[in-house]
Amino acid sequence: MTHRYLQARVGLRCDTRSVSAPLPRQLLQSNRRPSADSDRPAVLRKSTAQPRAALAETLAPVSLTQTQESVAVLKKTSLITAVKTPYREDGKFDLRAYDAHVQRQIENGVEGLIVGGTTGEGQLMSWDEHVMLIAHTVNTFGSQLQVIGNTGSNSTREALHATEQGFAVGMDAALQINPYYGKTSLDGLMAHFTAVLHEGPTIIYNVPSRTGQDVPDHIVQRLQHHPNWLGVKECTGNNRIQSYADQGIICWSGNDDEAHDGRHNHGAQGVISVTSNIIPGLFSQMMHKPNAELNSKLQELMAWLFCEPNPVPLNTAMAMCGLIKPVFRLPYVPLNREKREQGAKLLQQVQEHIPGCKDIQVLNDDDFKIVSKY
């Protein structure tokens, strides 16, 4: 596994070099604020005073023991949030809102994050933005939960490049989608996944409703023997999850409404959740202890959160709860007023379980800002 590109912040360019493993976590988790003249981590800031020997020591490989420990933790992680990316009025990242949101996730039992996934709108980010957000998340919260970067692409070259960068800035694992739109053959699918698995610990993401192509069982069965295989985020239902579980293949449900039963009745390890952005504590309860009554009560809210393509309802809900600014990057736009009114009633039923929410407002159409250039 090689990582040739290091990029811990947007605008930071490092010499092309070969690195044998991700940057050591202790170098990315300092609580010290950067100096006034730069917002770059001190260990990666350009400096003529830093000898090459010191830089080489900085980039020393993470030990096999550390990697194995991280993988072992990931394989036992039950609640992973596909975290929302908030925006400022100009459409750029609102890192203050992001940090507050992630901190509330941690305080309410979330064990891992997917950074820049579909929910986090990685598809609307430049790769510079994408890798910067992964680096920021590792640097700020990496000692408290697992950071999984969504660095997949329908281009194998892009997926490799982004995944190298993600591991170079310290992410624990990659989430890899199968090539979408320009679909490949099954042999090509196997070759694509094998290539990205070489980069580091990986969760494969199967969501045919978005990609237009299912990742068939025999591909997963072959891939599970790769040393960097972690498991699969499976969106085709609990019957398939049960089949994989019977074969010892780790699965996280990708369907919030099925996740409780998937976890407790069908062998899923847990869930990679959208709804846990709103009610992380309740989802944590359901992942760690069977609670059919709670699961039943939350079904209507979960259905509303998917009444339009994700992340449209979630973005709308978080704005209505005052957790983020009501800013959308096109092509996403907020739910219409009728659906917002429906959602407000459902959100009010669980308001005491929404961390950081002081009030729930329907909001007017002109309260939302939609940006096309950012």
As annotated, the active-site residues are: 205, 233
Angstrom distance (rounded) from CA 197 to CA 120: 23
CA distances, 330 to each of 252, 333, 371, 372 (Å): 29, 7, 6, 5
**Element (DSSP H or E) covering residue 231:** strand 229-234
Q: Is the peptide bond before 34 cis (omega within 30 degrees of 0)?
A: no
Q: Determine the Cα angle at 186 with ends 185 and 191, to 5°.
A: 95
Residues counted in the chain: 374
Q: SS3 of 146, please?
A: strand
- Give start and end residues of each alpha helix (H) in the chain: 52-58, 64-75, 95-107, 127-141, 156-168, 186-197, 208-211, 217-223, 238-246, 256-265, 280-288, 292-304, 312-320, 337-349
Given a contact cutoff of 8 angstroms between Cβ atoms, the answer to whether 323 and 131 are in contact is no
* Closest among 211, 191, 185, 186 to 123, alpha carbons compared: 211
DSSP 61-74: PPPHHHHHHHHHHH
Backbone angles phi, psi at 146, to 5 degrees: -85, 130
Reading the block at residue 2, the tokens are 């090689």
* Closest among 298, 257, 318, 300 to 84, alpha carbons compared: 318
CA 51 to chain centre: 36
